C-alpha cells in the first residue's frame, strides 16, 4: 500500500460531496479515518486509503444481517454511536440489503429482498450474524420466513464472501447458551462448521465492528484474527492490562463492598468479582457512546462480568474471583485501609535520629568485638578488663 499523506485527501474528488452525502464535515470525516487506522493498529498513512475507500460511493459492499436468539442489543449499540452517527456513515458505507430490525419491508417482501441480494452479489456480500442459533430438536425454536435459523444461516453463508458474528451470542452462544441451555443455543461458527470472524461482547463496542468492516472495505480482506476468530486489534490484550484501576491492584488497594471508602475512591474491583484479569477486550481503551473511560462497567464502578469471554460471561457468578491469567498480586500487601503518611515532625525526626545513632554505636561495638571472648569485671576500671584470646 502506498504511503499517502492524509492532508491531500481533502482535495480528492470522492470526498467533495462528503458534507452533503454523509452529513458530516470533511475534517471530522478525516479524523474518523485516522481513528479507525489507529484502532486497527495501522500506520497513520493508511488513513488515506481508508478515506478513499469509505468516501467512494462505488465500493459499497452488500451486507445481509441475520437475527436469531438475541436481544438486538448489538444493533442498538451500533445505531447509538455518535462519532459520527452510524446512520450517516456505516449505513452509507455499506449496502444494508437485509436487516429485520431496520427494514421498512416486512413478510414476503423482506425475504424476497434477501434472496435478491444474495443472487446479485453471490460470492461478494458480507454476512453478519447476530444472536445464537438453537440446534436442539432440529432448530425448531427459531424460525424466520418459514426457515429455521440453522437453514437460513447455512443458506446465506454458502454464497457469502465472509461471515462476521457480532456479539457474544453469535460468537460463542452467549446468554442463551447458559446451562441448562434448553434450546441447544450455539455459535455461528459451530453451526457452520468453519471459522468465522467473531466480535464478542454484550454488546461489543460498535467501533470494533465498524473497524472490521472498514478494513474489509479498504483492503478487501478481514483483519488478522486470533485462534478464536477475534480481531487482534480489539481482543489481543486483557482488560486488566489497560484498566484505569490497575495501579490500585498492584498496590493492594481493593474495594471490599459497594459504596465503601475504597469503592468511592476508585480502588480496584478485583475482590468484588471483576473478570478483567481473565477477559480479552479493549473496553477500557475505547469505552462506549463516545464518553471516554467512564463509559464502561469498571469506569462506572461495577466489576467487569467477562461478557466477551466464553466460559466466563453468563457462566461464572458475577462476584466470583477471576482467575489471574498472566499477572499475580504481590506476596505481601499493606492493609486495605492503610492510612496515608503526613510527614515527620522535628521532634519525631530527632527521636529517630537518636535511636539510629544508638543502633549504629551498638553495631560498631558488636562488630569490633566479634570473635573475642570478653568478660567485664564491674569493680575494675575499663583499662583492667580481661580479654581472652
Q: pLDDT digits over 50-93, tens only?
A: 877 777 666 678 899 999 999 999 998 887 766 555 666 666 67
Residue 54 grid cell: 469509505
Q: How confident is the model at residue 45 (pLDDT cuts 50, 70, 90)?
A: confident
Boundaries of every domain in the chain: 61-204, 237-335
Identify the CATH assignment for 237-335 out of 4.10.480.10, 3.40.47.10, 1.10.150.570, 3.90.230.10.
4.10.480.10
pLDDT for residue 376 = 41
pLDDT top residue among 339 and 236? 236
Is it the case that residue 211 has pLDDT exceeding 70? yes
pLDDT for residue 278 = 95
pLDDT for residue 378 = 44
Is it the case that residue 2 has pLDDT exceeding 50? no
- Which residues have C-beta within 8 Å of that of residue 180, sequence separation ≥ 6? none
pLDDT for residue 120 = 94
The per-residue pLDDT for range 230-270, each reduced to its tens digit, is: 999 999 999 999 999 999 998 999 999 999 999 999 999 99
Alpha helical stretches, state H, the chain: 18-21, 26-39, 46-55, 73-79, 90-93, 108-120, 149-158, 168-172, 188-192, 206-219, 232-235, 239-242, 246-251, 261-264, 283-286, 346-368
Find which of 82-96, 130-144, 326-340 is predicted with most confidence, using mean pLDDT. 130-144
Q: Coil, strand or helix: which one is 232?
A: helix
Burial 33-70 (b: 16+ CB within 10 A, else e): bbbbbebbebeeebbbbbbbbbbeeeeebbbbbbbbbb
Spatial separation of the C-alpha atoms in residues 155 and 281, rounded to whole Å: 31
Residue carrying the nine cell digits 418459514: 146
Task: Report CA Rg, the chain.
Answer: 31
Under 8 Å between Cβ of 302 and 280: no
CA dihedral (35, 40, 43, 49) positive or negative: negative
How confident is the model over 270-298, as a mean pLDDT?
A: 86
CATH class of 61-204: alpha beta
Spatial separation of the C-alpha atoms in residues 236 and 229, rounded to whole Å: 11
User: Mean pLDDT over all residues of the chain?
Assistant: 80
Is it the case that residue 116 has pLDDT exceeding 90? yes
Counting residues of the chain whose pLDDT is more than 70, the rounded percentage is 72
Q: What pTM did the predictor assign?
A: 0.76
Residue carrying the nine cell digits 436481544: 71
How confident is the model over 282-301, as a mean pLDDT?
A: 81
Is it the case that residue 290 has pLDDT exceeding 70? no
pLDDT for residue 101 = 87
pLDDT top residue among 378 and 228? 228
Amino acid at each position: 500500500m502506498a504511503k499517502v499523506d492524509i492532508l491531500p485527501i481533502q482535495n480528492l474528488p470522492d470526498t467533495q460531496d462528503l458534507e452533503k452525502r454523509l452529513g458530516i464535515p470533511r475534517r471530522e470525516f478525516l479524523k474518523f479515518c485516522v481513528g479507525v487506522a489507529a484502532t486497527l493498529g495501522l500506520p497513520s498513512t493508511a488513513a488515506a486509503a481508508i478515506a478513499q475507500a469509505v468516501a467512494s460511493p462505488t465500493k459499497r459492499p452488500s451486507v445481509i444481517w441475520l437475527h436469531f436468539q438475541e436481544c438486538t442489543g448489538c444493533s442498538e449499540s451500533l445505531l447509538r454511536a455518535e462519532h459520527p452517527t452510524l446512520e450517516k456513515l456505516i449505513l452509507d458505507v455499506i449496502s444494508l440489503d437485509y436487516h429485520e430490525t431496520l427494514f421498512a419491508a416486512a413478510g414476503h417482501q423482506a425475504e424476497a429482498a434477501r434472496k435478491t441480494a444474495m443472487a446479485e452479489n453471490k460470492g461478494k456480500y458480507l454476512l453478519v450474524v447476530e444472536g445464537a442459533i438453537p440446534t436442539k430438536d432440529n432448530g425448531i425454536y427459531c424460525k424466520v420466513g418459514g426457515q429455521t435459523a440453522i437453514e437460513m444461516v447455512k443458506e446465506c453463508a454458502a454464497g457469502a464472501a465472509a461471515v462476521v458474528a457480532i456479539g457474544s451470542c453469535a460468537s460463542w452462544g452467549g446468554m442463551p447458551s447458559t446451562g441448562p441451555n434448553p434450546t441447544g443455543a450455539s455459535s455461528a461458527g459451530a453451526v457452520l462448521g468453519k471459522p468465522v470472524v467473531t466480535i464478542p461482547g454484550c454488546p461489543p463496542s460498535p467501533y470494533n465492528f465498524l473497524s472490521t468492516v472498514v478494513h474489509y472495505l479498504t483492503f478487501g480482506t478481514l483483519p488478522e484474527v486470533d485462534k478464536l476468530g477475534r480481531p487482534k486489534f480489539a481482543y489481543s490484550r486483557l482488560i486488566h492490562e489497560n484498566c484505569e484501576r490497575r495501579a490500585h491492584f498492584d498496590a493492594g488497594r481493593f474495594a471490599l463492598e459497594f459504596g465503601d471508602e475504597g469503592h468511592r475512591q476508585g480502588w480496584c474491583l478485583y475482590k468484588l468479582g471483576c473478570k478483567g484479569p481473565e477477559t480479552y477486550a479493549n473496553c477500557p481503551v475505547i469505552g462506549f457512546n463516545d464518553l471516554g473511560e467512564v463509559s464502561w462497567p469498571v469506569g462506572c464502578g461495577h466489576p467487569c462480568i467477562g461478557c466477551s469471554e466464553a466460559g466466563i460471561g453468563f457462566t461464572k457468578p458475577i462476584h466470583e474471583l477471576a482467575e489471574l491469567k498472566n499477572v499475580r498480586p504481590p506476596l505481601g500487601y499493606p492493609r486495605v485501609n492503610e492510612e496515608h503518611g503526613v510527614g515527620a515532625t522535628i521532634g519525631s525526626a530527632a527521636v529517630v535520629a537518636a535511636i539510629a545513632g544508638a543502633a549504629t554505636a551498638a553495631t560498631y561495638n558488636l562488630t569490633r568485638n566479634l570473635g573475642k571472648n570478653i568478660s567485664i569485671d564491674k569493680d575494675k576500671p575499663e583499662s583492667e578488663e580481661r580479654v581472652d584470646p
